[in-house]
Structure 1
Amino acid sequence: MTRLAKGSTIRRDAGLYGYERALARQGLHPVAGVDEAGRGACAGPLVAAAVVLDRQIPGLADSKLLTEKRREACFDLIMKRAVDVSVVVVPAADCDRMGLHQANIAALRRALWRLEIRPGYVLTDGFPVDGLGVPGLAVWKGDRVSASIAAASVVAKVTRDRLMVRMHEDFPAYDFATHKGYSTPVHQAALRDHGPCDQHRKTYVNVKAAMEQMA
């Protein structure tokens, strides 16, 4: 990953679109933002998304700061107004096989590569992703300060939540529709009572403990 081009310093009051405007002034456009959802869950897939914007999305913010209703509304607007969007879904078994961090990095790369438009610059949330083929920058809490990363966070989150709701139909004992695979008390109780299912990440400590208990 690279630094921002000289002259592209971002002011703290630049707003959610500050990075994208500064990069465009340097000719580094279009800008793609990439982010993932489900990294901290012990069940279900990891979902990565890449988004290229050329206009503002009303109500856009970090997906974690939005209510479910507002996330859904933002998702619909992004899908209608974004220049390009791509999504990658990594099953739980692949997260176990590859290791979570490597699966995360690979998913972010694949989401970028699946864009039909080649970006001139890439913004990632939190940590750098190498092998992108274009210059980029890792932005601390990027989903709160970059519009394209925030849009990617919304797309990834809504996509994953919908998958978890559908998964609930196949595995109702775990209540995936409510907690989306994260380690809540209700989920922990279901793991103790039923053991893990095929959608649990077997390398996670709490899932391993449930497996040992059921053995």
Structure 2
Amino acid sequence: MTTLLSGPTIRRDAGLYGYERALARRGLAPVAGVDEAGRGACAGPLVAAAVILDRPIDGLADSKLLTPKRREACFERIHERARAVSVVIVEAAECDALGLHRANVAALRRALARLEQPPAYVLTDGFSVDGLGVPGLAVWKGDQVSASIAAASVVAKVTRDRIMERLHDGYPQYDFAVHKGYSTLRHEEALRAHGPCPEHRMTYANVRAVLTAREEESTS
């Protein structure tokens, strides 16, 4: 991915839409933001989202800074007001098969490819994604400083949370609806007590350790 074209830098006080406005002034519109949710979880899918905005979204912010109620409301407004939104879900088994980083990059590429309108420029959160066919920029803490990345973070987070709440119905012993598949103390205790289920990522160290321990117990 390339960096921004030469010219004035984006001011710190430019606001959440500063990147998008600066790119539009240089003829690089529409701008797509991409982000993912579930990268650090040891259970459940990885969810990537891509969003193109063409007008402000009330209450938009990094998904991690919003309460669940405000995230849900923002999620609905994004779908109502965004020019284009797409979501890609990578199941736990595919994350294991590809490796997390490869699965993450592939999901971001697929989310961009599924947008109804191709972007002229792409903003990603934290690390660059090559092979997109258009220029782009990896933005440090992008979900806090770019509106389109923040919107993608909200879409990915809410989509994944809803999936984990549905998985809770099938595997209530793990409390997926509470911790959403992340390695909390409560989740670790349930994992040791019940062993992993098909929704766990078997290549993760904590899940693999439980598998190994249970295998050793069964052969002793």
Matched letter for residue 206 of structure 1: N
Partners of 2:43 and 2:189 lie apart in 1 by 14
Partners of 2:39 and 2:3 lie apart in 1 by 26
Matched letter for residue 115 of structure 1: L
1:146 and 2:143 are equivalent in the alignment: no
Q: Which residue of 1 aligns with 2:108?
A: 108
Query: Which residues of structure 2 form unaligned runs of 5+?
Result: 216-220
Query: Which residues of structure 1 form unaligned runs of 5+?
Result: none
Matched letter for residue 19 of structure 2: Y
Seen in structure 2, the aligned counterparts of structure 1 residues 9 and 155 have a Cα distance that, compared at 3 Å, is same
What pairs up with 1:64-75 in 2 under 5 angstroms?
A: 64-75=64-75
Q: Which residue of 1 aligns with 2:54?
A: 54
Q: Which residue of 1 aligns with 2:190?
A: 190
Seen in structure 2, the aligned counterparts of structure 1 residues 131 and 192 have a Cα distance that, compared at 3 Å, is same
Matched letter for residue 93 of structure 1: A
TM-score normalized by structure 1? 0.99
Partners of 1:87 and 1:8 lie apart in 2 by 33
Secondary structure at 1:13 match in 2: coil
Instruction: Report if the CA contact (8 A) 1:8-1:26 is conserved.
Output: no
TM-score normalized by structure 2? 0.97
Runs (4+) of structure 1 exceeding 2 A deviation are: none
Q: Percent identity?
A: 75
Partners of 1:8 and 1:197 lie apart in 2 by 52
Residues 6-54 of structure 1 deviation map (CA, whole Å, 9 limit, x = unaligned): 2251100000000000000000000000000000000000000000000
Higher alpha-carbon Rg: 2
Partners of 1:165 and 1:70 lie apart in 2 by 18
Partners of 1:195 and 1:214 lie apart in 2 by 8
Q: Which residue of 2 aligns with 1:93?
A: 93
Q: Which residue of 1 aligns with 2:30?
A: 30
Partners of 2:29 and 2:174 lie apart in 1 by 44
Instruction: Report if the CA contact (8 A) 1:192-1:213 is conserved.
Output: no
Q: Which residue of 2 aligns with 1:156?
A: 156
Q: Which residue of 1 aligns with 2:181?
A: 181
Secondary structure at 1:49 match in 2: strand
Q: Which residue of 1 aligns with 2:205?
A: 205
Q: Which residue of 2 aligns with 1:84?
A: 84
Partners of 1:151 and 1:164 lie apart in 2 by 20
Count of residues paired in the alignment: 215
Partners of 1:8 and 1:212 lie apart in 2 by 55
Partners of 1:109 and 1:53 lie apart in 2 by 18
Residues 129-167 of structure 1 deviation map (CA, whole Å, 9 limit, x = unaligned): 001110000000000000000000000000000000000
